[in-house]
Amino acid sequence: MSSPQVALQELADSLHDCQRCPLAKLGRRQVVFGVGNPQASVMFVGEAPGYHEDQKGEPFVGAAGQLLNELLQSAGLSRADIYIANVIKCRPPNNRDPEPQEVDTCKPFLLKQIALIRPKIVCSLGNWATQTLLERKVGITRVRGQVFYLKEFALFPLLHPAAALHQAAMLPPLREDFQKLKEFLDRHSKAAEPEVAASSNAARTVQVERLAPAAQQMDLFGS
Ligand code: SF4
């Protein structure tokens, strides 16, 4: 196994029976660590596991996962290209919002995943993951489809697929977000060398390069 893969597996093992926050004793079936390519250029981050994720031990399975797969395809991506995880690794009871203490306790493990995978782009799905990674109270409808250049990666907030399942009117803007993501990836990607693609574990269709801040982006926050 490659080194990020080993380190990720060690981190996953260390959380296998994590008891660090109250969610450990509130009915979770298992810790849902994350899945995907450990060398992905593009990582997706959701909020917390739901029922199906808790049952299967993987993020984004069930109806929201199927919709996500379709949207990934529309952006020229597949689950094999990306890594996907949640801010919170255990299912909150009745899918309630996580408590601040739970976020504070679990968020460092997401940051560690990001540090190991070193994606160029992190796509935050929905309000909650976006606010956690931006560390600002911003509404997803205000920032969706835009790029924010953070210290280690570019953050690309997107609407959450589950929102479109509950509200059909959200589906067109969600599809629009993924088209913007595709355009962004097309602008910043290069094709992998054929011999590298044939022998490597690295994400083969997305090799992101040349990320540079857009001068206007921080105006959103008045800074
Ligand atoms: S939510 Fe995170 S911190 Fe809390 S028990 Fe699960 S893995 Fe541990």
Q: Is 21 in the pocket of ligand 1 (CB under 6 A)?
A: yes
Residue ranges of the domains in the chain?
A: 22-219
Strand partners, 156: 123
Q: Is 90 in the pocket of ligand 1 (CB under 6 A)?
A: yes
Q: Which CATH architecture best describes the domain 22-219?
A: 3-Layer(aba) Sandwich (3.40)
Each residue's pLDDT expressed in tens, for the chain with a length of 223 residues: 558 899 999 999 999 999 999 999 999 999 999 999 999 999 999 999 999 999 999 999 989 999 999 999 999 999 999 999 999 999 999 989 889 999 999 999 999 999 999 999 999 999 989 999 999 999 999 999 999 999 899 999 999 999 999 999 999 999 999 999 999 999 888 655 544 444 444 444 455 654 555 544 444 444 3
For residue 19, the ligand 1 atom closest to its alpha carbon is: 5
> Between the CA of residue 38 and those of 5, 12, 27, 33, 153, what are the distances in Å?
6, 12, 29, 13, 16
Q: Is 87 in the pocket of ligand 1 (CB under 6 A)?
A: no
Start-to-end CA span in the chain (Å): 43
**123 alpha carbon to ligand 1 midpoint, in Å?**
22
Looking at residue 188, what is its pLDDT? 85
Looking at residue 27, what is its pLDDT? 95
> Between the CA of residue 179 and those of 158, 176, 199, what are the distances in Å?
11, 5, 30
Judged by DSSP in three states, 170 sits in helix
* Residue nearest atom 3 in ligand 1 by C-alpha distance: 106
Give the number of other Cβ atoms within 10 Å of residue 187's Cβ. Answer: 10
**132 alpha carbon to ligand 1 midpoint, in Å?**
16
Using the structure block, give the residue that is written with the tokens 């919002």: 97
Cα-Cα-Cα-Cα dihedral sign, residues 45, 137, 166, 177: negative
